[in-house]
Amino acid sequence: MPEATRTHTTFDSINWTDWVPRERATLLFIRRDGELLLIRKKRGLGAGKINGPGGRIDPGETAEECAIREVQEELCVTPTGVKPAGELLFQFVDGYSLHGFVFTATGYQGTPTDTDEAAPLWTPEHAIPYHEMWADDRIWLPFMLQGQSFVGRFLFDGDAMLGYDVEVMTATPE
pLDDT band at 31 (very low <50, low <70, confident <90, very high): very high
C-beta of residue 50 within 8 angstroms of C-beta of residue 27: no
Q: Is 42 exposed, middle or buried (0-12, 13-18, 19+ CB in 10 A)?
A: middle
Amino acid identity at 140: W
In the DSSP assignment, the letter for residue 66 is H
Give the span between the Cα atoms of 118 and 75, in whole angstroms.
7
Instruction: Return d(Cα 60, Cα 7) in angstroms, integer.
Output: 29
Top-level CATH class of 3-7+23-168?
alpha beta
pTM for the full model?
0.91
Q: Please state which of the ranges 73-82, 103-112, 165-174 shows the lowest mean pLDDT.
A: 165-174
Q: How many residues belong to the chain? A: 174
Helical H segments across 1-159, by residue range: 63-75, 137-145
Range 32-41 average pLDDT: 96
Q: Of 26, 20, 23, 28, which Cα lies nearest the Cα of 107?
A: 28
Please say whether the beta carbons of 128 and 35 come within 8 A: no
Exposed e or buried b for every residue in 103-132, given b needs 16+ CB within 10 A?
Answer: bbbeebeeebeeeebbbbbeeeeeebeeee
Q: How confident is the model at residue 2 (pLDDT cuts 50, 70, 90)?
A: very low
**pLDDT confidence band for 47 (50 / 70 / 90):** confident
Q: Where are the alpha helices (DSSP H) in 48-96?
A: 63-75
Quote the pLDDT of residue 5. Answer: 46
pLDDT at 7 over 80: no
Angle at 55 between CA 51 and CA 61, to 5 degrees: 145
The residue ranking higher by pLDDT, 75 or 11, is 75
